[in-house]
Structure 1
Amino acid sequence: MNKKKIISILKEKLNLKDIYVTEDNNHYEITAIGNVFKGLTQVKRQKKIYNPLIDLITENKIHAISIKSYSLEEWDKNQK
């Protein structure tokens, strides 16, 4: 599995402004930015990311994921 595939899947399934993925072996860190996360709890945000990737996770192509998710407003505040 490579990070380009993960980016492609998440861009296709979620309406994201930006997505950043880093990888170390089968461990991935995902930072996703989009209004799809606006008003959602952290758990619901994680589910949004996990759902499109569940097949890769169950097939052990992805071993571990660290997720950071932001609405556009949160991302703008975080960057200051």
Structure 2
Amino acid sequence: MTPDQVKTLIETGLPDAQVSVTGSEGHFEAQVISEAFAGQSRIKRHQMVNATVMNEITSGALHALSIRTFTPEEADTNAS
């Protein structure tokens, strides 16, 4: 898998998300910004992202995905 493929999967599962993905050889890091994360725990947010790539994890195409999640407001705060 490529970072772009992982990005597309996440964007398909979370249509309002802003996604950036880095990595290679089955090991990737994703930063996902979505209004859907508002009011959700960190674990729930990660579950939401993992659900978008579960088929690839199960098949072994995606070995590891490190996830950082933010609401748009949290992303603005971290950017400052």
| TM score, norm. by length of structure 1 | 0.93
CA deviation map 1:14-41 (0-9, x unaligned): 021x111001321100000110111100
* RMSD value, Cα: 0.8
The residue number in structure 2 matching 1:73 is 73
1:52 equivalenced with 2:52 (yes/no): yes
- Provide the C-alpha distance between the structure 2 equivalents of 1:44 and 1:23, rounded to a whole number of angstroms: 23
- Provide the C-alpha distance between the structure 1 equivalents of 2:36 and 2:13, rounded to a whole number of angstroms: 11
Matched residue count: 79
Unaligned runs of 5+ in 1: none
| TM score, norm. by length of structure 2 | 0.93
- Provide the C-alpha distance between the structure 2 equivalents of 1:65 and 1:11, rounded to a whole number of angstroms: 15
1:40 equivalenced with 2:28 (yes/no): no
Unaligned runs of 5+ in 2: none
- Provide the C-alpha distance between the structure 1 equivalents of 2:77 and 2:5, rounded to a whole number of angstroms: 29
- Provide the C-alpha distance between the structure 2 equivalents of 1:73 and 1:8, rounded to a whole number of angstroms: 23
- In the TM superposition, structure 1's runs of 4+ consecutive aligned residues that sit over 2 Å from their partners are none
The one-letter code of the counterpart of 2:58 is T
Identity %: 27
